């Protein structure tokens, strides 16, 4: 009797596993791009079981619904690896955050997440936020629980800075000095505390300000800010806790210090020199160059209330962007897609064109926003490719992005985890409201 019971239990278990793997829907792709190799498969069916891809086939099983994308090129869901979720896209006024409550910033975050998804970005890495109570973690967890619609979020904690550095957030006269920010670290001991606080409250990544920046009016992007010892301490604490570390780094000296300290990714890298590129190649450090963000800033100028000193820095640094990126490519540094622009709706898809204009191949640009980003984030077993076992995160565009990368600016179809978010056959489904 016991042997019969065990046998019956095994049969039931095998039946349930088999049922779970049975396709529940399919997508017919006119062209299906393998982002690992650049090979294109025509008239292919993506078979989906629940929220995952079951297989890629030449025909769909009978009895399941098929979404016809035979007129489109189909790719994996996209990943923006440098976003600031709480950004207000209507202003570049540095003081605007002082007039914005944290609840209002969080509402901006809900709005921005919907825009990312509408443009085909099914995952995003938040690259730090200012509020000390981490609204980005609440948004991340709310998306995961299905409470709000948006990309899957990997979130950094605070923007760890020195007093007066890029991320201090208080560029006021001495008589208006504010309490010290929770993100400010002037010593190695301070770094330990700030990093541990970020991890305590849920940070997936740690964000360091290795140099000054462009957008704020007080720091100098040439200057290294956090010391190499501070950054090494942050890396040690973060890696021991299973977290990764990104470093905002514009100037060449700060880039090299951050790489030697062991950070996992350099953000911007706008003044990368030969020595720094060789170091990044040696250390296998990722680069998220955010090219279009700086280019877009030149287009908008002072029209959104940007500080004139900040704009002057932006104009100056643009001369270094092209040569630095070409150095990165010459040293085979691994490139990841990131936008770093408050105006998600206008900018989020434009980085593709900037990467190709900078010297990356169209396939390389697609890889930067898919398999490369997924690998850097440690999510490549779940996202980044259209392969069995991965999430059914699928986008479709008209035209051929391997010959004209700008078609990626017009994503027509979006599926996230097997659920259709945007469909050219039903343009009124889940419409996005655009603010004035």
Q: What is the CATH number of the domain that holds 272?
A: 3.20.20.140
Tell me: do 372 and 262 sit in the same domain: yes
| 26 phi/psi in degrees, rounded to 5 | -145, 155
Q: Is residue 357 left, alpha or beta, with left meaning phi > 0 and alpha meaning psi from -120 to 50?
A: alpha
Contacts of 163 (CB under 8 A, 6+ apart): 180, 184, 186
User: Does 86 fall in a domain?
Assistant: yes
| Structure tokens belonging to residue 166 | 């890029």
Contacts of 373 (CB under 8 A, 6+ apart): 79, 80, 81, 123, 125, 336, 337, 384
Tell me: do 269 and 340 sit in the same domain: yes
pLDDT value, residue 14: 35
The residue whose two tokens read 């290795």 is: 210
H runs (alpha helix) in 81-210: 102-118, 135-144, 188-200
Radius of gyration of the chain from Cα atoms?
23
Tell me: do 271 and 388 sit in the same domain: no
Do 133 and 182 meet the contact criterion of CB atoms below 8 Å apart?
no
Report which DSSP code applies to 335. Answer: B
Tell me: do 64 and 110 sit in the same domain: no
H runs (alpha helix) in 217-305: 228-240, 252-261, 274-283, 291-300
pLDDT value, residue 363: 98
Tell me: do 212 and 191 sit in the same domain: yes
Q: 342, 377, 412: which is the final residue of a domain?
A: 377
Local structure of 376: helix, strand or coil: helix
Local structure of 103: helix, strand or coil: helix
User: Does 170 fall in a domain?
Assistant: yes
Tell me the residue range of the domain where 67 lies.
Answer: 20-76+384-422
User: Does 3 fall in a domain?
Assistant: no
Do 182 and 135 meet the contact criterion of CB atoms below 8 Å apart?
no
User: Does 53 fall in a domain?
Assistant: yes
Tell me: do 61 and 87 sit in the same domain: no
pLDDT value, residue 215: 83
Tell me: do 180 and 261 sit in the same domain: yes
Tell me how far apart the alpha carbons of residues 248 and 127 are, in angstroms, rounded to a whole number.
9
User: 54: closest CA among 388, 360, 340, 404?
Assistant: 388
Measured CA angle at 159 (ends 80, 311), to 5 deg: 75
- For 6, 37, 72, 74, 185, the CA distances from 413, given in Å and listed in that order, are 47, 23, 9, 9, 44
Taking residue 247's Cβ as centre, other Cβ atoms within 10 Å add up to: 30
Residues in the chain: 436
Q: How many helices (H) and strands (E) does the chain have?
A: 13, 14
**What is the enclosing helix (H) or strand (E) of 55?**
strand 52-57
Strands 394-397 and 66-76: antiparallel
**What is the enclosing helix (H) or strand (E) of 122?**
strand 121-126
User: Does 224 fall in a domain?
Assistant: yes
The number of domains in the chain is 2
Tell me how far apart the alpha carbons of residues 200 and 372 are, in angstroms, rounded to a whole number.
28
Digits of tens for pLDDT over the chain (436 positions)? 444 444 444 443 333 334 457 999 999 999 999 999 999 999 999 999 999 999 999 998 899 999 999 999 999 999 999 999 999 888 777 777 778 899 999 999 999 999 999 999 999 999 999 999 999 999 999 999 999 999 999 999 999 999 999 988 777 777 777 778 899 999 999 999 999 999 999 999 999 999 999 888 888 999 999 999 999 999 999 999 999 999 999 999 999 999 999 999 999 999 999 999 999 999 999 999 999 998 988 887 777 778 787 788 888 888 999 999 999 999 999 999 999 987 888 899 999 999 999 999 999 999 999 999 999 999 999 999 999 999 999 999 999 999 999 999 999 999 999 999 999 877 776 667 667 5
Local structure of 47: helix, strand or coil: strand
Tell me: do 38 and 138 sit in the same domain: no
User: Does 436 fall in a domain?
Assistant: no
pLDDT value, residue 430: 67
Tell me: do 251 and 191 sit in the same domain: yes
pLDDT value, residue 418: 98
Tell me: do 297 and 416 sit in the same domain: no
User: Does 7 fall in a domain?
Assistant: no
Tell me: do 392 and 256 sit in the same domain: no
CATH code: domain of residue 48: 2.30.40.10
User: 27: closest CA among 433, 429, 430, 425?
Assistant: 425
User: Does 225 fall in a domain?
Assistant: yes
**What is the enclosing helix (H) or strand (E) of 7?**
helix 2-20
Tell me: do 36 and 142 sit in the same domain: no
């Amino acid at each position: 009797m016991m042997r019969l019971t065990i046998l019956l239990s095994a049969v039931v278990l095998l039946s349930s596993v088999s049922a779970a793997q049975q396709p529940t829907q399919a997508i017919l792709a006119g062209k299906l791009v393998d982002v690992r190799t650049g090979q294109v498969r025509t008239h292919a069916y993506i078979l989906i079981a629940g929220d995952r891809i079951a297989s890629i086939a030449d025909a769909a099983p009978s009895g399941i619904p098929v979404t016809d994308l035979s007129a489109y090129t189909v790719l994996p869901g996209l990943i923006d690896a440098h976003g600031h979720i709480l950004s207000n896209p209507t202003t570049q006024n540095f003081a605007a955050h002082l007039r914005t409550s944290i609840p209002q910033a969080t509402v901006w975050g809900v709005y921005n997440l919907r825009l990312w998804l509408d443009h085909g970005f099914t995952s995003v890495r938040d690259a730090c936020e200012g509020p000390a109570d981490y609204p980005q973690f609440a948004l991340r967890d709310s998306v995961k629980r299905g409470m709000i619609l948006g990309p899957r979020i990997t979130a950094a904690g605070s923007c760890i800075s020195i007093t007066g550095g890029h991320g201090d957030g208080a560029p006021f006269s001495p008589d208006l000095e504010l309490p010290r920010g929770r993100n400010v670290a002037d010593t190695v001991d301070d770094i330990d505390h700030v990093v541990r606080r970020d991890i305590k409250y849920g940070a997936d990544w740690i964000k360091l300000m290795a140099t000054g920046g462009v957008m704020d009016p007080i720091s100098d992007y040439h200057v290294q800010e956090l010391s190499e010892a501070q950054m090494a301490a942050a890396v040690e604490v973060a890696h021991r806790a299973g977290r990764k570390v990104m470093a905002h780094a514009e100037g060449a000296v700060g880039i090299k210090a951050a790489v030697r300290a062991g950070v996992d990714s350099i953000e911007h890298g706008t003044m990368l020199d030969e020595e720094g590129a060789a170091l990044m190649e040696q250390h296998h450090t990722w680069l998220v160059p955010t090219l279009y963000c700086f280019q877009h800033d030149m287009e908008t100028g002072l029209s959104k209330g940007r500080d004139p000193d900040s704009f002057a820095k932006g104009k100056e640094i643009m001369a270094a962007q092209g040569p630095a990126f070409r150095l990165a490519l010459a040293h085979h540094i691994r490139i990841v897609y990131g936008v770093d622009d408050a105006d998600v709706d206008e900018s989020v898809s434009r980085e593709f064109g900037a990467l190709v204009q900078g010297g990356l191949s169209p396939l390389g640009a697609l890889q930067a926003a898919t398999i490369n980003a997924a690998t850097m984030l440690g999510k490549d077993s779940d996202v980044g490719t259209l392969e069995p076992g991965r999430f059914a995160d699928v986008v479709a565009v008209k035209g051929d992005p391997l010959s004209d990368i700008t078609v990626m600016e017009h994503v027509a179809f979006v599926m996230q985890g097997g659920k259709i978010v945007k469909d050219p056959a039903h343009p009124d489904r889940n419409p996005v409201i655009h603010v004035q």
